[in-house]
Amino acid sequence: MSGFTRRKVLIAGLVGGGLVVGWFLRPRHFPLPLQPGPDERAFDAWIKIATDGVVSVAVPQVEMGQGITTLLPQVVAMELGCDWRQMAVEPAPVSAYYANTVLAARWAEMWLPMAPHLVEDPDDLVTRRWAQDTLFNVTADGTSLAAYEGPARAAAATARALLQQAAAARWGVAWEECTLEAGLVRHEGQSLPLGALVNEAVAFDPPPVPPLQPEPPSEDPSDFPPGADLAYPRLDLPSKVDGSWTFAGDVRVPGLLHAAIRQGPLAARCSLEALDEAQGAKVPGFERVVRGETQGRAWVAVVARNGWAAQTALDKMQPRFRFAGAVDSLEVENALDTALHDGVAQRLFAQGDAALTSGYLPLQSRYEVAPALHATIETASATARIENGVLELWIATQAPEAARKAAAQGAGLDPAQVVLYPMAIGGSFDRRLEVAIAGQVASLAREMDKPVQLTWSRGEELRAGFPRTPVVAVMAARPDTEGSIGAWRARIAVPATAREFGRRMFGGDTPAEAIAAAAGEGDRLAIEGAVPLYAIPHVAIDHVPARIALPTGRLRGNAHGYTAFFNECFVDEMAHRAGHEPLSYRMAMLGGQPRLAECLQRVSALAQWDGGADQSGQGVACHAIGGGFIAAIASARRSDAGVRVEKLSAVVDIGRIVNADIARQQIEGGLLFGLGLAFGCTTRFAEGRPDTLTLAPLGLPGLRDAPEIDVEFVVSRADPVDPGELGVAVVAPAVGNALFSATGLRLRRLPFFGEEV
């Protein structure tokens, strides 16, 4: 790529000084993204109010089960003073108004790898301008409330003030004397509904500072035990229960054709070698074969009049690919092993005396983590239609602007010619951060000159996915004179997986190009969570950037899903070596972490902790992510049928809780997701193909396998933290420590396979 881009201007300004000031400080105005209907009025970019009193809230994050289409409307309802029955929600269009600056700051080293420290503050001008310019509305890493609660509250407070002004003008009183409760503006016995005031309210000038309510939105979980009536039930629940909620695969437009696709294996180079097109053409409903390439990967698709015909014809054609440099599990494992032993480490964290963390340490243990698959229930699906030079795209994606660009490239259009309709996702776990399907379906719509819906089969979903990276680590420690940990060292061999993902998302690299470009780079996000939470005086955390042929991506929990496993199982090993009870051993080192210590104390009572004695089958673990804290105790037993986790108990501190029921759902769901990762969700690769092409062999917990789950929350006024990742991280170490208690075997590889116990 040549010439000046905005990103290059930004980098030049940062290096040279001066230039960035003139360009970044200029005033900016964006078109209002909300289009009100004939009986609606828009209040900022967040709220529309209709004359019948219905309040519609724009949600710029995709709903994928985490409840964001309830949380943000709840924030607005509580701040504005609405009756919950008046609330409605609509997906927000891609717009600079909704730039996710919090996630942009978290991912700083992905999009500005040479100087991430310059843009790690969400409120920094450069961060904000970059997020606005790139229309960065990505849903990931549990940043939705952190990024959008403030703007949504400010918009609601401003709208409340305007409505109060409209009512006050009618009554001839000061607007500050009016209140807005349950959808009515009130003053000394007088009241007016919102809908009667909206036309007048938009004519008033908003106050210079939004008059926020004195208390931010919150619920006390003790007011809503499981089964209790809810003050703010999920807005999406009724339509999901009755089946009327529209997912990407439910989209139907006139003249729609359906497509099935087969992509080449995960390899450095790949091309289509052979295809028995005549056999597929015999299937009733067959229309056409289309060949293409996305991100350097060859593919072939069959378009037909229905989905069955498309998939059946594709299977009959038996496509074969020519490839080189294909992924092989044995080669991946050898590359990780070589890196661990011989690779050049980059020290990404150090404290205390480096000499005390060097050389031989008395206790050293090796841990391994296999690639982890997303195992989404819903496979990828997207619909594209091109009319009058405009591409309409119906897609479920966490990265809408990236999907728009991919679709534009696939159709040979400019991104400005792409209109994206965001669809809800039936569980993503970060799988829908990847947007290859957008380019594929756009290419098919262009070739067919008709609307096309492309749906990946289950096998294709598993073939084409980029799993969470495999990892190998050696944990080493030296006890002090009292048996606590005096020195700690972690040497973690893992690809620069976050930077690799960033190269694909922000740089447009193919998977092979991203692997080559990120090779040898230290990656803090790849070992996030590796710094122990305990008061250990001497600590060293080393990342050995391993180069493997397997492209890797983001997955729920991300690095915390393996760093928590390393740390908490290794702490258990140290406790056992010192002859100390595991929970009290941790408590003695948590003097600087009072919130985590409280979680540990409370979970011991909740689970009736028995000290983790031999054969008890109880194991404890704790972890922290982004200011949220969790402690869990797993209860497991061994039987003739294998190992069963009977109960998971957890105490969680996620700060101020906006919706207690959704918070509980997210913790429970995270615990079950983590249980799936602990016992399955992986596959072997040979010649670039996964061995597993269905969900059945992945060892996912079914209803009969699900343990009893008991969750309690710590009431806190700290900033709210997303609960969706915490449960994922803590399960594997808690279960691993429980299995050690139950069997005497220390399992140091994820997932835990039945033959090992």
**Which residues neighbour 286 within 8 Å (Cβ) at sequence distance 6 or greater?**
280, 302, 304, 309, 313
Does position 24 have pLDDT exceeding 60, yes or no? no
pLDDT band at 594 (very low <50, low <70, confident <90, very high): very high
| pLDDT digit string, tens, across residues 382-432 | 999 999 999 999 999 999 999 999 999 999 999 999 999 999 999 999 999
What pLDDT was estimated at residue 7?
34
Longest Cα–Cα distance of the chain, Å, equals 81
Alpha-carbon distance values, 23 to 15, 99, 283 (Å):
14, 19, 59
Q: Which percentage of the chain shows pLDDT scores above 70?
A: 95
- List % helix, strand, coil for the chain (3-state, nearest 5): 40, 25, 40
Two structure tokens written together for 393: 């795209």
| pLDDT digit string, tens, across residues 451-478 | 999 999 999 999 999 999 999 999 999 9
What pLDDT was estimated at residue 299?
97
Correct CATH for 248-326+380-455 of 3.40.35.10, 2.70.98.60, 3.30.365.10, 1.10.3720.10: 3.30.365.10
More reliable by pLDDT, 18 or 577: 577
329-372+468-756 has the same fold as 33-99+135-217? yes
CA separation for the pair 365, 629 (Å, rounded): 26
Q: Which CATH class is domain 33-99+135-217?
A: alpha beta
**Which residues neighbour 115 within 8 Å (Cβ) at sequence distance 6 or greater?**
14
| pLDDT digit string, tens, across residues 256-305 | 999 999 999 999 899 999 999 999 999 999 999 999 999 889 999 999 99
pTM for this one?
0.94
The domains of the chain are located at 33-99+135-217, 248-326+380-455, 329-372+468-756
Residue 703 burial (CB count, 10 A) = 5
CA separation for the pair 281, 288 (Å, rounded): 8
- Using an 8 Å Cβ cutoff, are 146 and 719 in contact? yes
Phi/psi class of residue 386: alpha, beta or left (left: φ > 0; alpha: ψ in -120 to 50)? beta
- Using an 8 Å Cβ cutoff, are 178 and 164 in contact? yes
What pLDDT was estimated at residue 227?
85
Residue 650 burial (CB count, 10 A) = 30
| pLDDT digit string, tens, across residues 226-238 | 889 999 999 999 9
| pLDDT digit string, tens, across residues 150-174 | 999 999 999 999 999 999 999 999 9
Query: Pairing between strand 381-387 and 320-326?
Result: unpaired
Rounded mean pLDDT, 727-752: 96
CA separation for the pair 697, 681 (Å, rounded): 8
Q: Where are the alpha helices (DSSP H) in 651-756?
A: 660-679, 726-743
Does position 27 have pLDDT exceeding 60, yes or no? no
**Which residues neighbour 272 within 8 Å (Cβ) at sequence distance 6 or greater?**
264, 291, 298, 299, 300, 319, 320, 321, 322
Does position 364 have pLDDT exceeding 70, yes or no? yes
Two structure tokens written together for 155: 């918009």
pLDDT band at 641 (very low <50, low <70, confident <90, very high): low
Q: Which helix (H) or strand (E) holds 282?
A: none
CA separation for the pair 516, 485 (Å, rounded): 38
| pLDDT digit string, tens, across residues 707-725 | 999 999 999 999 999 999 9
Cis? peptide before 751, omega within 30° of 0: yes
Fold held by 329-372+468-756: Aldehyde Oxidoreductase; domain 4 (3.30.365)
CA separation for the pair 178, 281 (Å, rounded): 71
More reliable by pLDDT, 613 or 43: 43
CA separation for the pair 360, 347 (Å, rounded): 17
Two structure tokens written together for 77: 């309802």
Q: Phi and psi (nearest 5°) for 23?
A: -85, -40
CA separation for the pair 549, 562 (Å, rounded): 20
Does position 196 have pLDDT exceeding 70, yes or no? yes
Read off the DSSP letter of residue 469: P
Alpha-carbon distance values, 440 to 260, 265, 406, 554 (Å):
11, 16, 8, 21
Two structure tokens written together for 569: 């199982």
**Which residues neighbour 293 within 8 Å (Cβ) at sequence distance 6 or greater?**
299
Identify any residues that bridge with 690 across adjacent strands, giving them in sequence order: 685
Average pLDDT, the chain: 93
What pLDDT was estimated at residue 28?
60
Q: Which helix (H) or strand (E) holds 192?
A: strand 190-193
Q: Where are the alpha helices (DSSP H) in 652-697?
A: 660-679
Two structure tokens written together for 729: 């991280």
Return the residue matching tokens 């594209």: 384
What pLDDT was estimated at residue 311?
98
Residue 705 identity: D
What pLDDT was estimated at residue 34?
84
CA separation for the pair 108, 121 (Å, rounded): 9
Does position 352 have pLDDT exceeding 90, yes or no? yes
| pLDDT digit string, tens, across residues 76-92 | 999 999 999 999 999 99
